[in-house]
Structure formats: structure tokens, C-alpha cells
Amino acid sequence: MTTGRDLSRLDRGLILLQRALAVSVGPAPPSASYPAAELADATVSDADRAHAAGLMRVNHAGEVAAQALYLGQAAVARDEETRRHLLAAADDEQAHLAWCAQRLDELGSTPSRLDPAWFAGSFAIGALAGLAGDRTSLGFVVETERQVEAHLGEHLERLPEGDARSRAIVARMQAEEAAHGREALARGGAELRAPVPSLMAAAAAVMKWLAYRV
């Protein structure tokens, strides 16, 4: 949760630590805005259910990584307004995390056992991006959300046709991730230079491959 009052560095550090523990090892909070709430859970084959669970586990891991990136960037942001924007974006990702966790439970599966590793690595990457300056940090958000939007579009094509609940979640996430990217661009996010976008895509591919399976 963000706050309007000025915080000391100790306060900020404690808040970040609390959120890190909650995201990386704690249960996802319940969500009152679950996109699939009004949709029936259709009967699908065991193979399709396992495949849908694997894709939703990847999406859950992606949301863990997204929160870590934002928190890492916020930890070193120079401008207070930029820091608050990043924390607000991380707040939005909490709903996505809850949706993915709830859908995994419905599918009889669990999040990736590597979630703490995704969080730690992404927090470090976010902090490095933040240290490069706020415009670069916001540009990192723009590129991240651009790649996430494309990745979620791919999942909409790969999810079993009858799995309307997972599809509703992924479609809602895709729309909101795109909005995050537009907001960061409007705040002055700088275009990232090669080979950074390619390296980001390569790292994401490794995470997706592992999270689907572990």
C-alpha cells in the first residue's frame, strides 16, 4: 500500500522487506474483482487442465517478477513522484497475482516453487534499472509491459479453447499491463537501447520455460 506522507529510509526499507516476503513466500491476497467470477468452469481433459495450469503458473511467476521489478526500481528512484508511481503499479500487480493464484487453485495446481528466485533476481534487475535514472527506469517499465502484453496475447492463443475462466483472467491482465506501459511512457520513459530489450526477452524466456515445469 502506498502512502502520502514522507517516509524515512528505514520506513521505506521495512515496507519493501514486508512486501518482498509477502510476494515471494506468502499466500496471494484474496481478490474482490476476480475476472472469472461469473464464468462456469468448463470440463476439459486432464491434459488441457495440466497445460492451462502450466500457463497460469508462468503468469503467476511473471506477476511475482513484475512486483519485484517495480519495488527494486522504487527503492532507488530519485524522484518522489516516480517512486509513488512505481509503488502504485506494484499495487495493481497484486490483484493480478491473486487472480493467477486463485485460478491455479481451481485447476488443482500450485505456483512455481522458484518464486523466491524470480523475486530476488527481478528485484536486483529493477534496482539496476533504477540506478540508471528515472527516465531509464520508466523506459524499462515501458519495455517490460510491451513484452508482457505480447506474452499474454500468446497465452490467449495457447490456452484450451474451453477454458473461459483462464482466458478472462489473461485478457484482463493484458489490458491492464498495456495501460501501465502507456502511463510510464507518458511520464517520460526513455526508449531502451539494444541489446537491452533482447536480453530482457531472453531472461523472460528462461523464466517461462522453468515456471511452466517447476
CA pair distance 60, 185, nearest whole angstrom: 25
Let me know: does 126 contact 64? Beta carbons within 8 Å.
no
The burial of 130, by beta-carbon neighbours within 10 Å (0-12 exposed, 13-18 middle, 19 or more buried), is given as buried
CA-wise closest residue to 138 among 198, 213, 74:
74
Q: Which residue has the higher pLDDT, 24 or 196?
A: 196
Peptide bond into 195 cis (omega under 30): yes
The count of structural domains within the chain is 1
What is residue 194's three-state secondary structure? coil
Full-model pTM? 0.88
Host H or E run for residue 34: none
Amino acid 10: pLDDT: 62
In a domain, 154, yes or no: yes
Amino acid 3: pLDDT: 46
Q: How far is CA 129 from CA 7, 76, 79, 97, 198, in A?
A: 22, 9, 14, 23, 15
Q: What is the mean pLDDT of residues 48-56?
A: 97
CB neighbourhood size of 214 (10 A): 11
CB neighbourhood size of 137 (10 A): 30
Amino acid 1: pLDDT: 46
Give the residue numbers spanning the domain of 64. Answer: 46-213
CA pair distance 95, 126, nearest whole angstrom: 20
Radius of gyration of the chain (CA): 17
Residue-wise pLDDT for 158-202, tens only, equals: 999 999 999 999 999 999 999 999 999 999 999 999 999 999 999
pLDDT for 6 beyond 70: no
Amino acid 203: pLDDT: 93
In a domain, 164, yes or no: yes
Q: How far is CA 171 from CA 102, 194, 205, in A?
A: 16, 29, 20
pLDDT for 138 beyond 60: yes
Amino acid 102: pLDDT: 94
The rounded mean pLDDT for the chain is 88
CA pair distance 85, 34, nearest whole angstrom: 24
CA pair distance 140, 165, nearest whole angstrom: 31
Q: Which residue has the higher pLDDT, 14 or 5?
A: 14
Residue-wise pLDDT for 111-126, tens only, equals: 999 998 999 999 999 9
The CATH number of the domain holding residue 96 is: 1.20.1260.10
CA pair distance 63, 110, nearest whole angstrom: 14
In a domain, 91, yes or no: yes
